[in-house]
Amino acid sequence: MHIHILGICGTFMGGLATLARGLGHKVTGSDLNVYPPMSTLLEEQGIEIIQGFDVAQLKPQPDVVVIGNALSRGNPAVEHVLNNNIPYTSGPQWLAEHVLQQRWVLGVAGTHGKTTTSSMLAWILEANGMKPGFLIGGVAKNFGVSASLGESDFFVIEADEYDTAFFDKRSKFVHYHPRTVILNNLEFDHADIFSDIKAIQTQFHHLIRIVPENGLVIYPQDEKYLSEVLQQGCWTPTAVFSDNEKTEADWQCHAIKDDYSQFEVIYQNKNLGMVKWELIGRHNMFNGLAAIIAARHIGITPNYAIETLAKFEGIKRRMEVRGVVNDITVYDDFAHHPTAIKTTLDGLRRQVGASRIIAVLEPRSNTMKQGVHAKTLADSLQLADCVFALQADNLQWDLAESFKVLKHSNVESRVDVLLDKLVAMVKPGDHVLIMSNGGFAGIHQKLLNMLN
């Protein structure tokens, strides 16, 4: 079968292309921006990638066109598909029909931590001989890829709440029919498709409705919006976790080190062991515990999962050290929501103590652009000693005005000017935390080059 993918260079669609190729299909695809590393990874697998959406790419006609959720009516390739009755589907629907059927799907959902938690879970399964398939919205360093068919009935997937396609406005995760579900958290995000938090909660309850009676729903106790979702009805056993000893949650995690690089795992008041790893932050402690609970659901005992997490190497672009020059450490992190920014800074502050942290931020998500977080972003950056931020043309609110409450901040409209000012102020011992869910004009390597 010849499958052509419109919007192939996103992490999800690129991973789907990898899975389709692994099943023996001929796979081609196109995107508006074709660039490494995804383009290189796909081409190495014999997948032809075309720049842009000219209709010539659909001649000869493929057997089916998979349309990414970034494409909409008016796109020339989309219009050609519709005008000529070419069979088409969405990425999540194709995945459900050709990869996930008859498999035990373990889905990881939530506003934050999906990529990290699903990577942890896939690694626990892999290291304990389960040989799972997986599709993750990032590259786990333990695997080096974002997707694999695996060799067993188990499949770990990052279960995203974003919509499926222009012709299917349900969240992606309702297509996956998971038996084991982790719900990390729930906050308002994706303001481009959700009107308010209740709209997101509706989609999460659609997910809860299809988890079978022999499945498991795993979630933290003190998440208000998640609790409200579950109160609407849940027909599946649940596993609740917390780090508050005063709660009645069966699963507990207690930090041993202040930066959360060591923590105890407790089930029904019994200490099951201690996780010692390179990761930091309370959010990662919760991610790790959720993965341990999910692995137990398919038969991996917690002590084995705990041992495995000690060897978890993390995710590219999640507090990834990009380089150290003149004792100045440069990090790359994906954080783009105030809660994620705050927890990331908290973990780093606990690790580096009184050393200076310089936060460099590109607010580029659709929610950020619309100013939904205008009143909370500055507060999330309080633990940084200095903040640099990019005021892009498409940002619909004034960063400088919002950041007046910060002690030291610099807002620039050009990356090159921002870099010049950043280089002028950094000194040995500093930690430069660069946060963006995009490429940020290659600022990480440019900074390292200038420091050299």
Residue 443 region by backbone torsions, left for phi larger than 0, else alpha for psi between -120 and 50, else beta: alpha
pLDDT surpassing 80 at residue 374: no
SS3 content of the chain, % helix, strand, coil (to 5): 35, 25, 40
Amino acid at residue number 416? D
Q: Say which range, 45-49, 181-185, 209-213, 327-331, has the weakest mean pLDDT.
A: 45-49
Per the CB < 8 A criterion, the answer to whether 109 and 183 are in contact is: yes
Backbone φ and ψ for 141, nearest 5 degrees, come out as -65, -25
Q: How confident is the model at residue 373 (pLDDT cuts 50, 70, 90)?
A: confident
Mean pLDDT for the stretch of residues 19-42: 87
How far apart are the C-alpha atoms of 158 and 410, rounded to whole Å?
A: 35
Per DSSP, the residues of 41-106 read: HHHHTT-EEEES--GGGG-SPPSEEEE-TT--TT-HHHHHHHHTT--EEEHHHHHIIIIITTSEEE
How far apart are the C-alpha atoms of 405 and 361, rounded to whole Å?
A: 16
- Give me the residue spans of the domains in the chain: 2-90, 102-309, 320-451
Beta strand 357-361 with 386-390: parallel, antiparallel or unpaired?
parallel
pTM score:
0.87
Q: Average pLDDT of the chain? A: 92
Of the candidates 74, 106, 56, 77, the residue with the CA atom closest to the CA atom of residue 7:
77
Residue 86's contacts (CB-CB under 8 Å, 6 or more residues apart) are: 58, 61, 62, 64, 65, 80
Q: Which pLDDT score, from 0 to 100, does residue 407 have?
A: 86
How far apart are the C-alpha atoms of 376 and 412, rounded to whole Å?
A: 20
Q: Which pLDDT score, from 0 to 100, does residue 35 have?
A: 67
Per the CB < 8 A criterion, the answer to whether 95 and 22 are in contact is: no
Q: Which pLDDT score, from 0 to 100, does residue 36 have?
A: 65
Q: Which pLDDT score, from 0 to 100, does residue 41 have?
A: 80
CA 452 to chain centre: 31
Per the CB < 8 A criterion, the answer to whether 30 and 56 are in contact is: no
Mean pLDDT for the stretch of residues 175-186: 96
pLDDT surpassing 80 at residue 52: yes
Q: Which pLDDT score, from 0 to 100, does residue 50 have?
A: 94
- The CATH homologous superfamily for domain 320-451 is Mur ligase, C-terminal domain (3.90.190.20)
Burial class of residue 255 (count of CB atoms within 10 Å of its CB; 0-12, 13-18, 19+): middle
Q: Is 238 helix (H, G, I), strand (E, B) or coil?
A: strand
Per the CB < 8 A criterion, the answer to whether 164 and 348 are in contact is: no
Q: Which pLDDT score, from 0 to 100, does residue 224 have?
A: 94
Q: Which pLDDT score, from 0 to 100, does residue 37 have?
A: 67
Buried b (16+ CB within 10 A) or exposed e, 275-291: bebebbbbbbbbbbbbb
Q: Which pLDDT score, from 0 to 100, does residue 399 have?
A: 83
Q: Say which range, 5-9, 44-48, 88-92, 231-235, has the weakest mean pLDDT.
A: 44-48
Q: How confident is the model at residue 317 (pLDDT cuts 50, 70, 90)?
A: confident
pLDDT surpassing 90 at residue 424: yes
Q: Which pLDDT score, from 0 to 100, does residue 201 have?
A: 96
pLDDT surpassing 70 at residue 122: yes
How far apart are the C-alpha atoms of 222 and 242, rounded to whole Å?
A: 7
Higher pLDDT, 277 or 402: 277
How far apart are the C-alpha atoms of 283 and 288, rounded to whole Å?
A: 9
Tokens representing 203? 């989609």
Residue 164's contacts (CB-CB under 8 Å, 6 or more residues apart) are: 69, 90, 91, 92, 93, 170, 171, 172, 175
Q: How confident is the model at residue 86 (pLDDT cuts 50, 70, 90)?
A: very high
Backbone φ and ψ for 218, nearest 5 degrees, come out as -115, 130
Q: Which pLDDT score, from 0 to 100, does residue 144 have?
A: 85
Do you know the residue count of the chain?
A: 452
Domain at 102-309: CATH code: 3.40.1190.10
Mean pLDDT for the stretch of residues 422-449: 92
Give the model confidence (pLDDT) of 249-287 as tens digits: 999 999 999 999 999 999 999 999 999 998 989 999 999
Residue 363: asked if its preceding bond is cis (omega within 30°), the reply is no
Residue 83's contacts (CB-CB under 8 Å, 6 or more residues apart) are: none
Per DSSP, the residues of 143-184 read: TSSSEE--SSSEEEEE---SEEETTEEEEGGGGS--SEEEE-
Structure letter (DSSP) for residue 4: E
Of the candidates 262, 292, 289, 266, the residue with the CA atom closest to the CA atom of residue 278:
262
Note the CATH architecture for domain 2-90.
3-Layer(aba) Sandwich (3.40)
Query: What's the chain's Rg over C-alpha atoms?
Result: 22
pLDDT surpassing 90 at residue 222: no
Of the candidates 417, 425, 337, 350, the residue with the CA atom closest to the CA atom of residue 381:
337
pLDDT surpassing 90 at residue 211: yes
Q: Which pLDDT score, from 0 to 100, does residue 339 have?
A: 85
pLDDT surpassing 90 at residue 376: no
